Amino acid sequence: LYPNMYTSNNACSVPTSFWLTGIPGLESLHIWLSIPFGFMYLLALVGNITILAVIKMERSLHQPMYFFLCMLAVIDLVLSTSTMPKLLTIFWFGARNIGLDSCLAQMFFIHCFATVESGIFLAMAYDRYVAICDPLHHTSVLTHAVVGRLGMAALLRGILYIGPLPLLIRLRLPLYRTQIIAHSYCEHMAVVTLACGDTRVNNLYGMGIGFLVLILDSLAITASYVMIFKAVLGLATHDARFKTLGTCSSHICAILVFYIPIAISSLTHRFGHHVPPHIHILLANLYLLIPPILNPVVYAVRTKQIRERLLHILKAETRPR
């Protein structure tokens, strides 16, 4: 199935390309797995492009929360497109070969835009905090320029944090025991574990970035929601509390959709030593696909303006000419 990519007597070689296994252990099912994965990728594309189109057309949605949602849609399109086309070519054509630079570029895009997405959720939490705790100043604090700067800050943070990952591999780890990556995409640790030589710097940097992004961002988001809940509890009536919390529900759902799959995938990777490899790989792929599929659904269902605009478009399309 795989070419002879293991070097003899544990010798190390300089690879020009790697060989992705797809879903190891499920090779015989690859053609069948392509059906759900292809369908999910199509759903992610259609859902996020629809959200972008609806927000662009509907002027009443030109508000901070929806601009952040547009940023999320673009990020989700990049995240899913950085992995799914290659995975589908592995499933359909057995095209497992990936050049070294292409592999490092894929690694950068996956980890960078996952980091950017976390930053956008943090910015959205700040938006909800200002909207609920200081509503009179919401429009003056979160102007279009401020929203743009927050988005740019999230992007720059992603580039600064993740840029060193492929560079450290390129500069510090030229030699590899094998070119076969037991994964469906070039995930950082999946590549680093194949390297000869000292990988401690790469491991520590990867773990440090994971801590900075996931732990600190989730703590900051939690802190903002603690203050939001305090403000909501101070409202006079039950209806007012319910309505105010309702404005946060889409954001809370989207955060859970993003962080829970990552947490499950990370925990099974760290502690699930008895979990079969194909389960690890399937989870790793799903955490890149679930948010792009569910984010548009969550916002379309929970947001009245998006829902109404979508229904209006659908009615216009189905009306006899």
- Distance CA(24)–CA(299), nearest Å, equals 35
CA distances to 54, 55, 63, 306, 310 from 50, in Å: 6, 9, 17, 10, 9
Does the pLDDT value for residue 109 go beyond 70? yes
- The residues near 253 (Cβ < 8 Å, ≥ 6 apart) are 294, 298, 302
What is the mean predicted confidence (pLDDT) over 190-203? 92
Can you give the pLDDT at residue 215?
87
- Distance CA(220)–CA(316), nearest Å, equals 43
Binned at pLDDT 50, 70 and 90, residue 113 comes out as very high
CA distances to 57, 145, 210, 280, 315 from 318, in Å: 19, 38, 47, 43, 5
pTM value > 0.85: yes
For residue 135, give both structure tokens: 């509503």
Least confident of 112-126, 197-211, 234-248: 234-248
Binned at pLDDT 50, 70 and 90, residue 269 comes out as low
> What strand order describes the sheet that includes 97-99?
97-99, 17-20, 180-181
Q: What angle do CA 36, 42, 43 make, to 5 degrees?
A: 90
Higher pLDDT, 5 or 48: 48
Can you give the pLDDT at residue 246?
78
With beta carbons less than 8 A apart as the criterion, state whether 158 and 112 touch.
Answer: yes
- The residues near 136 (Cβ < 8 Å, ≥ 6 apart) are none
Does the pLDDT value for residue 259 go beyond 70? yes
Q: Which CATH number fits domain 18-315: 1.10.3470.10, 1.20.1070.10, 3.30.1280.10, 3.40.50.2000?
A: 1.20.1070.10
Least confident of 35-44, 101-110, 263-272: 263-272
Binned at pLDDT 50, 70 and 90, residue 162 comes out as very high
- In the chain, what are the domain boundaries? 18-315
Least confident of 5-14, 78-87, 258-267, 276-285: 5-14
Alpha helices in the chain (DSSP H): 30-57, 64-93, 100-133, 138-141, 144-162, 164-172, 188-192, 200-210, 217-233, 238-271, 277-302, 304-318
Higher pLDDT, 237 or 126: 126
- The residues near 261 (Cβ < 8 Å, ≥ 6 apart) are 283, 286, 287, 290, 291
Binned at pLDDT 50, 70 and 90, residue 112 comes out as very high
